[in-house]
Amino acid sequence: MNKMKLSKISLHYAINSQPPPRFEDELTELQSKTLKLQEQEQTLNERELMIKKMEENLKQQKILSETKPELESNPEIPQTTPENTKTEPKHEMKENDPKHEMKENDPKHEMKENDPKHEMKQKRKEKEKRKQKRKEKRKEKRKKTSRKRKEDEIINEETEQKDSTENSYVNFSPDEMNCLRDMERKEVINLSDEEKKKRRQLKNRINAKKSREKKKLYVQGLQDEVSKLRAYTVELSNQIVRLSSENLELVHQLSTINKEKKDDKDL
């Protein structure tokens, strides 16, 4: 298919001096692909040669290993010397070999910074990272909210129990109340350190919740007072406007009366 496309393009070049705008991009892509394929073919050929040499070396080593015991047993058979058997040197990867060395400034192997495909890949990776971070944040928020909900439920249960016990203690006498308090203290003393710690934490949470509720009620009361004061100030301002208008009318009436008096005197 690539050859067919190239032939079509070459025909177009033969007919027209300028290349067609449609096939310009295809030409560049095909040229880059052909270069890559040539490089791959070269590397494959080199590897095949390497493999062949290694196989030959292995065969020679096998032959030597098989013939050695026979030579030792039969001294009449002429022994193979290093002069007679020429073993080819193994293919060593040279450090300074220009073929195998990856050049730092090679434009083919070097990832170009201004390559649009590379930029797109980087943008996708960044988007995936942001998505993962968002997911982690959501998970943490859910965990926190669930933990807070559970704590609130525990506190509500504790407060309800406490309120119910306090209501039940209403009918008790002061001596009975003291006896019950002593019982509670003894229970606390018999508890372990961890249970005491948990009990203390729960009490602190209950007290914190109560203080928050008190603050809310206090703030609500202040807000109600402020709204009442604002309404009162609006009423006062309306009264002031009304009185000022009445005052102006009175002044006007006085001025008219004074004028009438002056006219009467002149007559």
- Across the range 164-188, mean pLDDT stands at 62
Distance separating alpha carbons of residues 223 and 180, to the nearest angstrom: 42
Residue 69 lies inside a defined structural domain of this protein: no
pLDDT at 195 over 60: yes
Integer CA distances (angstroms), 188 to 10, 18, 175, 202, in order: 98, 98, 20, 14
Q: Tokens 């933990």, residue?
A: 147
pLDDT at 173 over 60: yes
Distance separating alpha carbons of residues 161 and 181, to the nearest angstrom: 16
Distance separating alpha carbons of residues 236 and 266, to the nearest angstrom: 45
Which pLDDT value is given to residue 3?
Answer: 47
Residue 65 lies inside a defined structural domain of this protein: no
pTM for this prediction? 0.28
Residue 222 lies inside a defined structural domain of this protein: yes
Residue 38: give the domain boundaries: 1-59
Distance separating alpha carbons of residues 107 and 118, to the nearest angstrom: 15
Taking only the tens place, the pLDDT of each residue in 27-70 is 777 777 888 888 888 888 888 888 888 888 888 887 887 776 65
- Decide if 157 contacts 202 (C-beta within 8 A): no
Residue 244 lies inside a defined structural domain of this protein: yes
Domain total of the chain: 2
Which pLDDT value is given to residue 39?
Answer: 86
Taking only the tens place, the pLDDT of each residue in 128-156 is 889 889 989 888 888 888 887 877 777 77
Which pLDDT value is given to residue 73?
Answer: 59
Both tokens of residue 85? Answer: 């058997």
Residue 123 lies inside a defined structural domain of this protein: no
Residue 223 lies inside a defined structural domain of this protein: yes
